[in-house]
Structure 1
């Protein structure tokens, strides 16, 4: 999958991989690294040099609680109510 406007690529975990983040099932992994050939240049302007994260199945409030308990300051955003939540970080 590729999200053109933000020059972000998203990848689904391999079938049966059981990948989790903060105890939640990972639906997709996404990322962007400026000038990295793995990430295709989109038509949008990058907001940072890099960003990465995951979309997990679970309510944003629950995901945020677990992320904070783990000491993470990742940004947590609801994608679909009670179903899908994005957890992302800007790179260095």
Structure 2
């Protein structure tokens, strides 16, 4: 499991833990949009990728969360599981 801090204004992420490194910066960082789209394309089944890409759209995320505590969507992963 990976955990990242995402700066929505700068479209930037810093990974703070992964399967090998826990609760410390791992050195993985960069453009949040690019990373989210890469993860989507690698892990989400093709028929749900457009939905997930729209859901993870960093430039619109702050506005979509403005009056919400959280937002959610459902999609199927390449391994057949639902998230």
Calculate the TM-score normalised by the size of structure 2.
Answer: 0.28
Q: When you count helix as a share of all residues, which structure comes out higher?
A: 2
Q: Whose RCO is larger (CA < 8 A, sep 6+)?
A: 1
Decide which structure has greater strand share. Answer: 1
